[in-house]
Amino acid sequence: MSAAPPHIAVPEDASRLPVTLPILQEKKRLGEPIVMVTAYDFPSARAAEAAGVDVVLVGDSGAMTVLGYPSTVAVTTDELLVLARATRRGLRTPFLVADLPFGSYEASDEQAVATALRFVKEAGADAVKLERGNDTSVARARAIVAAGIPVMGHVGLTPQTSTALGGYRAQGRSGSAALQIAQEALALERAGCFAIVFEAIPAAVSDALVPLLEVPVIGIGAGPATDGQVLVFHDLLGIREGRGARFVQRYAELQGEMNGGVAAFASDVRERRYPRPEHGYSIDPSELDLFRSELGALAAPAADPR
């Protein structure tokens, strides 16, 4: 008979301590919701830090939200490393996870480990995340974990392969499809993943599946039964056009505020309302006189040397 896993004491101010894997596991045991958001740069990381979130994901969604790509597929490892390094500089307490971009881990275990190592060594990531729970992804997860790097899994709607899934649509809405998600999630757990993201699956499927998993489950459009929730930074703050996916809850409408602020600035410049005297710097009158006299000499035409 195996011994019960040790429990750690989580102090009342744990939100201000660096979040670790044991803390995340203890939150699941205690039923304390895990808060996760995406971030892609220093300002968004500082917002996550100030809010006291538990986990920050440098998601490949940054391909669309900050780099302007039409999907997550085009973003490169080097591009995500830039975003991850900037995010790392803005964080002190949240656990930092970096997405492995499409094409950076599928070819072989060696490729997967090499890419994961770059995010840890070059960007300071605490862990990496990969999508899907098929045989290939499970093998890659196992290899990365064996190399000493924590891995977060991701099942359900996996944006990197959304074309093969029929587009950005809910998954697991038939018995067989739900069973496949369950099989993938359990396989990722057995491969050593410390947590798994459930994206866009029926809440009833999560209700049935989450109790079978020993690792934390982070939901995004997967109902309230998961151990935590994640949203994309730009979705929850309204820094994009359109309403986004059905599961998005807007907590601000910053895109309109940003547009309005830039438009007001442009109008003030064109109407010469900006800058005003209070925006400038002064100079002592005697120094100004000296400057003007010397400036006159500079501006005088040079004598003809002939």
- Active site members: 199
Q: How far is CA 79 from the centre of its chain?
A: 13
Burial class of 178 by CB neighbour count within 10 A (0 to 12, 13 to 18, 19+): buried
DSSP 8-state symbol, 177: H
DSSP 8-state symbol, 246: T
How many other C-beta atoms can be found within 10 angstroms of the C-beta atom of residue 56?
A: 33
Strand boundaries in 160-203, DSSP class E = 195-199
CA atoms within 13 A on the CB side of 226: 26
How many other C-beta atoms can be found within 10 angstroms of the C-beta atom of residue 284?
A: 8
* Phi/psi of residue 262, nearest 5 degrees: -65, -40
Written as six digits, the tokens of 200 are 């866009």
| Whether the bond into 275 is cis, omega within 30 of 0 | yes
